[in-house]
A and B are shown apart, each in its own frame.
Chain A
Amino acid sequence: MEAGVHEAGRQAGARRGPGLSGTLVASIFVAVVCAIPVAYLFVVILDEPAVAWEVIWRPDTLRLLLRSLALAVAVGATATLIAVPLAWLTSRSDLPWRRGWTVLSVLPLVIPSYIGAYLFVSALGPRGELQSLLGVESLPSIYGFAGAWIVLSLFTFPLVLLPVRAAMKRLDPNLEDAASGMGRSQAEIARTVILPQLIPAIGAGALLVSLYALADFGAVSILRFDSFTRVIYQSYRASFDRTGAAALAGVLVVVMLLLLLVESRVRRSRSYHRVGPGSIRPTRPVALGRWRWPAVAFCAVVALFSFLLPVGMLVYWSAQSVAGSTDWQQVITAAANSILLATLTAAVAALAALPVAWLGARTPGRLSRVVDTLTTTGYALPGIVVALAIVFIGIRLVPFLYQTLPMTVIAMVIVCLPLAITATRAAVLQLPPRLEEAARGSGRSPLGVLATIGIPLTRAGILAGAALVFVAAIKELPVVVLLSPIEFSTLPLVIWQESTRAFFESGAIPALVLLLVTAPGVWLLVGRER
């Protein structure tokens, strides 16, 4: 890793170095580690190819594929529709209490999808709070596609909002002024000047959301939507069918490839850095006028359903559960472990993302696409598949690391890495390559360029990536259950145990603690926004 980072600088400076450059070697190293789940799928499928073939060609599989793809696209689109207006309102308008909405718009990220889905069912499901409140016999069913779609959109839209808001703040107002000076209307400017500059950020965010929807198990299982992930879990749980599960996971990888292809088309061959001299001057906020209160209402509705109501329910349940029955010692230990694990994961992921992001930004091409694809698989596959893959390969290749903290961290990085890569890459893309070239030309060493130019100027992106990884890693369950050091308890584990033991409600206190300890990650994400 050390050497990789060192070498990364030269690549950044020299762009097309002779032979294998440092960025490349480091990127390939990261990609190979991230390829563990795919390697495992190959091994398992090749073990019983006939069985796998049969599963892949079942008519059911095609139906599953279309359903999962539909969910992924619907969630990606809905998250975008929520995120883009919200991002604009909180970054470019004179929205009242802008600072508050800025924070609230990111907070849904701290709510794990399994908790969000459970709260959604308790509130709106059969015999739920709303039904008893209204006193009606039955409500429209929230199970299935609709439920999964709504819940996943509500709790993932900040993944689109964050990059879009960052991009909006970096927009060069001179462009808009120029367009306006040429007599273009506001709507035309939005469409022809602003939107094209936002497309890459929207694409990257929507991709992360869609892939999340593909891999999610918590929400789809509680909302009973038969996505790929749910069926894969059932294959393991109900029939111990590892070949069938691997075959389905293989198809899921193909779906992921499709989504990646779409996104890379969107991102391809544009330049995002300013070429003119000077720094971006701050923009004047747009006056909302009579749209002021409708805008506030929009922000309030989103905040209410994506954060305030869920947290309110958790607080209510916590207050109801007998305070004495909580094992605080256990919760505190679990919280400390969760913070440790998520921090280490965030640090390693930020480091591993550097070469990959530089490669993707500076030398896009077939190779960087392969690296991007491999580093994305762990994020797009269900947690149980990634966990079992690392069990299988880890115990054979590095038995001395098996079920140790370093291995858990590596596994978590494999699951979360695209979050860091996306954020870092966006920052690198905004950095004019000329800057690095000039520094190289003036005789700085590759590492020197990276240390004095590269990292400082992309610091915001790197930190944002690390914070996103922190927030995602702290919620992760399957990898921790199977791979953590023995008797290493984390908050999601405690919540899961409490909720299987008795009621979900008894997991409300550890769930609230989980939200609290995730707060530093959110602070990193919004605290840096000015």
Chain B
Amino acid sequence: MPKTAVLALLLTALAAGTVAGCGSGSGAGSAGDGKSLTIYSGRDEEYVGPLIDRYKKENPGVDVEVRYGDSAELASTLREEGNRTPAGLFLSQDAGALGALQQAGLLAKLPSDILDRVPAKYRSSEGDWVGITGRVRVLAYDSRKLGKDQLPDSVFDLTQPQWKGKVGWAPTNASFQAFVTAMRLTAGEEKTKKWLEEMKANDTQAYEKNSIIRDAVADGEIEVGLINHYYVLEGIREGEIKQENYPVQLHFFPGGDVGTLVNVSGAAIPNASDQQDAAKSFTSFLLADPQQEYFAKQVGEYPLVPGVKQDPSLPPLSSIEQPDLDLADLEDLQGTQELLKETGVL
């Protein structure tokens, strides 16, 4: 049938054009004129927006534009765009998305003056990405019901009967899943599986989000919750404004327990970008003291640059005993999600 043949021909042409297009490309990026910068931001406008304004004020000649989205989806977009990407800089909510782009070979090596701003633990060992802020997994607890001495020493203790029905977690949350990945890497599959099953059997309460868990602790619905540290800080600060004692406090598991995983938000530059200079300039700006202080003050995250003042109610990052692992290894969440489903947690 000739009509079908015509359609097939057109489709083939489309496919061929596409495949041909994959091969060619601009290849390596260029320094650019430093006058424009396109950012793909997996971090919220609420936090990044004010910094963009500040940067524009300091660098009036540079035109900065931002596309906000989900970190992983933007990382997928960067990969589909390949070496034609219009993005000059990628800001990610977590290390996993950065690790995936590094593995795909899409990132430019960052200069040492940028990398050296943060301790080696918080950047790519290959120099492909750099951490901007630290976010720590903690146990949020109800200080009205629990004294410091009643808190568990390890996240593994939460399976004990005394915690039955009193713990909250967020199985669908990306930070929680990164923490489970870290547990698999440090404690092994079997122990992680057993922990998940026992937690579930212990009637651990599932919530959609970190902030909801925090509020559930504040409302006395549960006694403790596994969340990121800055959510609690947000509540404490609001309490200060209202001059009330905020009931939820932070507990860091001691002794390098995996319950106290330190993850990072970070930045990376696509190697095909022709805005290299502007992107480096903006990354240096994010790692400069005033902006690090901004993250500490406004967001409650840990500044990664040593010497920058952090929130006084938090223990210093260097004092937190961290589990021994490479953040880039947190890239693969697939196994974690399978395990969460297998155990019926997700």
Contact = CB atoms under 8 A, between A and B. Distances in A.
B75 A240 contact: yes
A236 B81 contact: no
A242 B76 CA distance: 8
Interface in B121-171: none
A370 B67 contact: no
A486 interface: yes
Given A388-B77, A403-B86, A497 B6 contact: no
B14 interface: yes
B21 A396 contact: yes
Interface stretch (B239-247, B260-268, B313-321, B332-340): B332-340
Interface in A351-403: 366-367, 370-371, 384, 388, 391-393, 395-397, 399, 402-403
Interface string A140-172: 000000000000000000000000000000000
B184 interface: no
Interface in A473-498: 478, 481-482, 486-487, 493, 497
A97 interface: no
B7 A367 contact: yes
A208 interface: no
A274 B205 CA distance: 62
Interface string A27-40: 01001100110011
The contact size tier of chain A is: 35 or more
A42 B73 CA distance: 20
Contacts of A20: 3, 6
A478 B17 contact: no
Contacts of A388: 76-77, 80
Given A36-B14, A238-B177, A402 B86 contact: yes
A246 B143 CA distance: 49
Contacts of A399: 84
A396 B84 contact: yes
A188 interface: no
B112 interface: no
B102 to A, nearest CB: 11
A352 B212 CA distance: 46
A392 B80 contact: yes
Contact of A43 (B18, B85, B206): B18
B127 to A, nearest CB: 20
Given A39-B18, A239-B334, A240-B97, A28 B6 contact: yes
Interface in B80-99: 80-82, 84-86, 97
Nearest to A363: B3
Interface stretch (B38-46, B190-198, B250-258, B277-285): B38-46
A320 interface: no
A503 B216 CA distance: 14
A24 interface: yes
Contacts of A501: 44, 46
A43 B4 contact: no
B18 A224 contact: no
B18 A28 contact: no
Nearest to B177: A238
B187 interface: no
B14 A32 contact: yes
A127 interface: yes
Given A39-B14, A487-B65, A236 B72 contact: yes
B44 A28 contact: no
B73 A478 contact: yes
Contacts of B85: 395
Interface in A403-433: 403
B55 to A, nearest CB: 15
A370 B334 contact: no
A503 B231 CA distance: 12
A261 B47 CA distance: 50
Interface in B2-57: 3-4, 6-7, 10-11, 14-15, 17-19, 21-22, 38, 44-46
Contact of B211 (A366, A391, A502): A502
Given A397-B18, A487-B65, A236 B76 contact: yes
Interface of B is mostly: helix
Contacts of B86: 402-403
Given A35-B11, A39-B18, A482 B77 contact: yes
Given A24-B3, A241-B334, A367-B4, A481 B15 contact: no
B21 A242 contact: no
A39 B38 contact: no
A234 interface: yes
A486 B77 contact: no
Contact of B69 (A40, A392, A481): A481
A333 interface: no
Nearest to B7: A28
Given A237-B70, A242-B76, A393 B6 contact: no
Nearest to B100: A240
Contacts of B46: 497, 501
A185 interface: no
B337 A234 contact: yes
Contacts of A482: 69, 73-74, 77
A384 B70 CA distance: 11
B221 interface: yes
A326 interface: no
Interface string A322-363: 000000000000000000000000000000000000000000
Pick from A239, A241, A367, A370 the residue with the most CB of B within 10 Å.
Answer: A239
Contacts of A126: 205-206
A370 B76 contact: no
A399 B24 CA distance: 13
Contacts of A127: 216, 221
A174 interface: no
A20 B2 CA distance: 9
Nearest to A33: B14
A14 B97 CA distance: 57
A384 B3 CA distance: 32
Contacts of A396: 17-18, 21-22, 84
Interface string B318-346: 00000000000001111011000100001
A436 B68 CA distance: 51
B172 interface: yes
Contacts of B221: 127
A239 B77 CA distance: 14
A500 interface: yes
Contact of B80 (A234, A239, A391, A487): A391
30 contacts: A20-B6, A39-B18, A43-B19, A43-B22, A126-B206, A226-B341, A237-B70, A238-B333, A238-B336, A238-B337, A239-B331, A240-B72, A240-B75, A242-B76, A367-B1, A367-B7, A392-B80, A393-B21, A395-B81, A396-B21, A396-B22, A396-B84, A397-B21, A403-B86, A481-B68, A481-B69, A482-B69, A486-B65, A497-B45, A497-B68
Interface of A: 20, 24, 28, 31-32, 35-36, 39-40, 42-43, 121, 126-127, 224, 226, 234-242, 366-367, 370-371, 384, 388, 391-393, 395-397, 399, 402-403, 478, 481-482, 486-487, 493, 497, 500-503
Given A32-B7, A497-B46, 6 more contacts: A39-B15, A224-B346, A237-B174, A240-B76, A393-B18, A486-B67
